[in-house]
Amino acid sequence: MYSKQLDIESILKSVHKYIKQITVIIIICFLFSCLASTFITNKYSASLVVAPALHDLKAKDKQKEEDDSEITTDFDKFLYLLTSNNVAKELAKDTNVNKRIKPSMSLSSFILYGKLKNSNKVEAIQKYLNDNVSIIDIKDSGMKKIILKHANDEFAKQLLAKIYLQADALIKAKETEKNEKEIIFIQDSLQKDSLSGNREMFIQLLQHQLQIKSMLSVDLPYSADVVEEINVSSNPSSPSILLIVLLTTVLLSGMFSFLLIYTKENK
């Protein structure tokens, strides 16, 4: 206890000893924080409410009836894909997206952007999606609200629509491929198997896969139904500038003041 008291007293003495230098550090850090805060961009929020598709709900109910275990539905996959590398790759092909979302302009990323242009675009877009897309659970409804933020309200709306369509299209393409393979396998099995019992089973399986094929061929969302169309906030939102300035000032001035005292006292 006594040693701790001595430590506090020595720290206070050191602060008093270098109070002028510490004051200058605080002022510089405050000015720097104010300058840095001018680069904070206000962002509009675009939101979209989605719900699991009917076939997903039926599959989940059937699974619960059988063994009460959780399954990964197409809706779950859709939500995961929204900020995935696969969606970022598709968005990277869009000229407008590339204009709006670019890699950071640090020296290393600039060199990479020149040499590995395509891969770096994808990384920049995925990072943007991870930082600016959030998914909110709408309590007791099974629905989700997807929110995307961007400085331009019109682009926020366009980009949210794009990621929704791309995520759904990726799932649809994968399910279409799987469905085609299943149909070929069942048709081959029907030709090879002449037993009436097995034929009946294969016919039922084929009918089920043909229903899925019909569903996949329709030009409508497959994995997530839109409950509420995209809505964009009328005013941009921004973080608390005052809080950011104060926190940055305290952290920077504390760090530099410690370095000053440590350097001076250990000469």
Burial of 118 (0-12, 13-18, 19+ CB in 10 A): exposed
The domain in which residue 26 lies consists of 2-39+240-265
pLDDT for residue 3: 44
Same-domain status, 80 and 162:
yes
What per-residue confidence (pLDDT) applies to 113? Answer: 47
What pLDDT does 209 receive? 80
Give, in degrees to the nearest 5, the angle at Cα 40 between 38 and 44.
Answer: 130
Number of domains in the chain: 2
Structural domain contains residue 185: no
Q: What integer pLDDT is reported at residue 205 of this predicted model? A: 82
- In this structure, the answer to whether residues 54 and 136 fall within a common structural domain is yes
pTM score, two decimals? 0.65
Task: Tell me if 214 is assigned to some domain.
Answer: no
Alpha-helix runs per DSSP H in the chain: 2-17, 19-37, 54-67, 74-81, 85-91, 95-100, 107-115, 117-132, 153-192, 196-217, 241-265
**Cα 157 → chain centroid:** 16
pLDDT at 116: 43
Give the pLDDT of residue 84. Answer: 93
Residue 101 buriedness (CB in 10 A; 0-12 / 13-18 / 19+): buried
Q: Two tokens at 173? A: 């393409």
Residues 61 and 23 in one domain: no
For position 60, what pLDDT does the model report?
60
Residues 104 and 227 in one domain: yes
Q: What letters, b where the CB count within 10 A reaches 16 and e where it falls short, cover 151-187?
A: eebebbbbbbbbbbebbbbbbbeebeeebeebbeebe
Residues 79 and 120 in one domain: yes
Of residues 257, 266, 262, 267, the one with CA closest to residue 27: 257
For residues 59 and 90, state if they share a domain: yes
Residue numbers in the chain where pLDDT is lower than 50: 1-6, 105-119
- 10 Å CB burial of residue 86 (0-12, 13-18, 19+) is middle
State residue 47's pLDDT score. Answer: 93
Q: What is the pLDDT of residues 16-65, one digit of tens each?
A: 777 888 788 888 887 877 776 666 667 788 999 999 887 766 656 555 55
pLDDT, position 83: 92
Write down the pLDDT at residue 90: 92
